[in-house]
Chains A and B, each alone.
Chain A
C-alpha cells in the first residue's frame, strides 16, 4: 500500500487505472480537467486507450463502444456535461454494460458555476437518462473514499453488468490530501476477465455458436432482443437486489443521539466534524452519512428510536434541496426535519450546521 499526497481528480484517475481501467474518453470541463489530462499521460504507459471525444455526447457513446468490447472503461465529466451524456448512459444501462462514470459536480442548473456543489442528486439517483433505469451511485466524502470507491466501482460494474456512477464534487476533485493507493490489478487478471467477457462482447463471433448482439432490450450474450417488458422486469429485479446487497452508509455516534445530522459527500464530511464539536459541547448528536446514495440506506433511518429524537438536520449543497426529499420519504413525519443548505458553488459551513443543529436541539 502506497501513501501519497495527490490532487483529487488525479487520484481518481490513478485509482481507475489501478482498478484496470484501460479505456477513457472525455471532454474538457472544469472542475474535472485533471482526470482526462491524467489519463492522456498514463494510458499509453499501461497499454490503454485514451480518446478525447468531440463532445460529452460522443465521449459517452465511445464509452458505450468500449463497454461492448468487455474492457474496463470509464468516462468523467461535470454536471452539464453529464446531461449531454445522459443519452448514452441510458443506452449503457439498457444494454447492461459494465462501465464507470464519474461526475465531479459543479453549480447548476445549466452552465451554473465551476465551483463545487451537490445539485445533481436527483439526476444521479433518479434519472440520468430516459427509461427509468437505475445505477449504483457512490458518493465519496474524502479523497481516500473517492479512491476506494472508484477502485471498487469497476468490480461492481462487472458484477452487476450495469453502469456505476461515482458522484464526487468539485471540492473533492480539487483538494490535495494524503491517500493510500490500492494495488494495481495484474495484467493476467485483466486478460482473464476480458477472455471471460467474450461470452457476450461484440468483437466478432470467433467461432461462437451464435452471434452477439448488444443494445437496449438485449441481455448480453444473446443473439437478439427479448420483449422489452421482460427485459425491464429483469433489470428491475437487479435494482431491487441491491437493497439487500449494496446498502452502504456511515453510522457515527448515533447510539445515544437525540439529534441526527444527515448528509452525503463533502457535506457529510463537514457534518461529521460538526458532530465532533457538538459532542464536545455536550450535545448528543450523531451522523448518518450514505456512502452509496443509490440504493438509499432506508434502514439507517428505520432503525432509529424516534421516541428519543428531537429531530433530524439534513445538510446539502443544493437549493432547492434534493437529498432532503429521500430523507423525508423514509422518516415519514416521525420527527421534525430541518435543513442546512448552500448552493450555486458555495461550500456549506461547519458553523452554520452547528447553529442549525443547536436550534433544532433546543435546551440541552
Chain B
C-alpha cells in the first residue's frame, strides 16, 4: 500500500506559478499555505498582498486575498483585523514595500501591536520593477540604480527590519529565516507556525522575515543565488528568533 506523504497544499490554486525559475517566492507562499491548512484556517484567513513580485500571489493563493497600495499592507491589515477579529490576517510584502515606501505603516502597526502576521520577503532589491536598490541592498551590491555598487556615502547602509522592530515594546514575535536547504525550510515553517499561533493567541504583531533570492535581477543561476545568500546575505542578515513571548 502506497502512502501519500507529500501533496500540494489545499490553500494553493491549481495554477502553474509564473515566478522566475529558482525564485523562493512560490516556496514561501507554499509554506504559509501549508501552515494555514495544518491549523485549519483556510476558510477564515485573508492575505493582504503588497505590490511587487509578491502580488503575483493572486494567481496562486486560494484563500481570500486583497491587493493593496504599495507599502500599505500593514495599515490595511490592521483595519481588517479590528473590524473582523475572528479572521486570521496576514500580509505578504517585499523589502521595497515593507521597509521603504511602507516603513511608517510597518513601524506603526508593529508599535500599536496590531494582531496581524507579517511575512516579509527580503531579496535585497525591487524585484518586480527590474532590480533597483532597496533599503536592504548589500554594501557594494550592483543594482539597476546602483550601477557602481551601493556605497555608504550616497546610499547609507542596509536596513535590518527584525532588529529595528525589536526596539519596540509591542511586537510579540520576530524571526528571520531562509529557504536555502531542507533544514532551513523546516525552521522557516516552524517560524510561520509561531507567527500564526501568536495571532491565534491574540498576542499582537508578529513578523517572519525571509532572507530570499532574486536570481533574475541578481544575474545568477538559482544555484549561485543560494550560494550568494550563504556567503553575502546571511552575514548581513543573521537568522534567528529576535522576539518570542
Which residues in A have some Cβ–Cβ distance to B below 8 Å?
Answer: 22-23, 25, 49, 51, 53-55, 57-59, 61-66, 68-69, 71, 73, 87-88, 91, 202-207, 211-216, 218, 224-225
In the complex, which residue of chain A has the Cβ closest to the Cβ of B88?
A: A204
For B80, the chain A residues whose CB sits under 8 A away are 65-66, 68-69, 202-203
Instruction: Identify the interface centre among B76, B86, B105: most chain A CB within 10 Å of its CB.
Output: B76
Instruction: Identify the interface centre among B48, B63, B67: most chain A CB within 10 Å of its CB.
Output: B67
Please report the C-alpha to C-alpha distance between residue A88 and residue B226 in the assembled complex, in whole angstroms: 37
For A68, the chain B residues whose CB sits under 8 A away are 66, 76, 80
For B108, the chain A residues whose CB sits under 8 A away are 54, 58
For B82, the chain A residues whose CB sits under 8 A away are 23, 49, 51, 66
For B107, the chain A residues whose CB sits under 8 A away are 54
Taken residue by residue from 31 to 46, chain B's Cβ proximity to chain A (1 for < 8 Å, 0 otherwise) reads as: 0000000000011111
Assess whether B69 is interfacial by the CB under 8 Å rule.
yes
Contact A58 B42 (CB under 8 A): no
For A204, the chain B residues whose CB sits under 8 A away are 43-46, 63-64, 86-88
Contact B79 A66 (CB under 8 A): yes
Contact A203 B77 (CB under 8 A): no
Indicate which residue in B46, B62, B84, B104 contacts A55 across the interface (CB closer than 8 Å).
Answer: B104
Q: Interface size on B (CB < 8 Å)?
A: 33
Please report the C-alpha to C-alpha distance between residue A211 and residue B43 in the assembled complex, in whole angstroms: 9
Contact A211 B65 (CB under 8 A): yes
Instruction: Identify the interface centre among B63, B72, B77, B108: most chain A CB within 10 Å of its CB.
Output: B72
For B104, the chain A residues whose CB sits under 8 A away are 54-55, 57-58
* CB of B50, distance to nearest CB on chain A (Å): 11
Please report the C-alpha to C-alpha distance between residue A305 and residue B146 in the assembled complex, in whole angstroms: 67
The contact sample of 27 A-B pairs, CB cut-off 8 A, is A49-B79, A51-B78, A51-B82, A59-B75, A61-B79, A61-B105, A62-B75, A64-B79, A65-B77, A65-B80, A65-B83, A66-B83, A69-B80, A69-B87, A73-B83, A203-B86, A204-B43, A204-B46, A204-B63, A204-B86, A205-B42, A207-B43, A212-B64, A213-B65, A214-B67, A215-B58, A215-B66
Please report the C-alpha to C-alpha distance between residue A68 and residue B69 in the assembled complex, in whole angstroms: 14
Assess whether B132 is interfacial by the CB under 8 Å rule.
no
For B56, the chain A residues whose CB sits under 8 A away are none
Indicate which residue in B62, B63, B72, B83 contacts A69 across the interface (CB closer than 8 Å).
Answer: B83
Instruction: Identify the interface centre among A68, A202, A212: most chain B CB within 10 Å of its CB.
Output: A202
Please report the C-alpha to C-alpha distance between residue A213 and residue B63 in the assembled complex, in whole angstroms: 9
Assess whether B68 is interfacial by the CB under 8 Å rule.
yes
Contact B43 A65 (CB under 8 A): no
* CB of B147, distance to nearest CB on chain A (Å): 30
Which residues in B have some Cβ–Cβ distance to A below 8 Å?
Answer: 42-46, 48, 58-59, 62-69, 72, 75-80, 82-84, 86-88, 104-105, 107-108
Contact B87 A23 (CB under 8 A): no
Contact A91 B68 (CB under 8 A): yes
Contact B83 A64 (CB under 8 A): no
A64 in contact with B76 given A58-B105, A71-B83, A225-B58 (CB within 8 Å):
yes
* CB of A309, distance to nearest CB on chain B (Å): 47
* CB of B226, distance to nearest CB on chain A (Å): 32
In the complex, which residue of chain A has the Cβ closest to the Cβ of B48?
A: A65
Contact A203 B79 (CB under 8 A): no
Please report the C-alpha to C-alpha distance between residue A213 and residue B68 in the assembled complex, in whole angstroms: 11
Contact B67 A65 (CB under 8 A): no
Please report the C-alpha to C-alpha distance between residue A218 and residue B78 in the assembled complex, in whole angstroms: 22
- Add 9 more A-B contacts to A64-B72, A69-B80, A205-B44 (CB < 8 A): A54-B108, A61-B72, A61-B79, A62-B76, A64-B68, A68-B76, A205-B42, A207-B43, A214-B66
Contact B43 A205 (CB under 8 A): yes
Contact B64 A211 (CB under 8 A): yes
For A88, the chain B residues whose CB sits under 8 A away are 69, 72
Contact B64 A202 (CB under 8 A): yes
* CB of A90, distance to nearest CB on chain B (Å): 8
Contact A65 B79 (CB under 8 A): yes
Please report the C-alpha to C-alpha distance between residue A88 and residue B67 in the assembled complex, in whole angstroms: 11
For B67, the chain A residues whose CB sits under 8 A away are 213-216, 218
Please report the C-alpha to C-alpha distance between residue A49 and residue B114 in the assembled complex, in whole angstroms: 13
For A211, the chain B residues whose CB sits under 8 A away are 62-65
Please report the C-alpha to C-alpha distance between residue A205 and residue B61 in the assembled complex, in whole angstroms: 12
Contact A62 B43 (CB under 8 A): no
In the complex, which residue of chain A has the Cβ closest to the Cβ of B114?
A: A51
For A69, the chain B residues whose CB sits under 8 A away are 79-80, 83-84, 87
Contact A91 B69 (CB under 8 A): yes
Please report the C-alpha to C-alpha distance between residue A87 and residue B101 in the assembled complex, in whole angstroms: 13
For B77, the chain A residues whose CB sits under 8 A away are 65
Please report the C-alpha to C-alpha distance between residue A213 and residue B49 in the assembled complex, in whole angstroms: 11
Please report the C-alpha to C-alpha distance between residue A69 and residue B87 in the assembled complex, in whole angstroms: 10
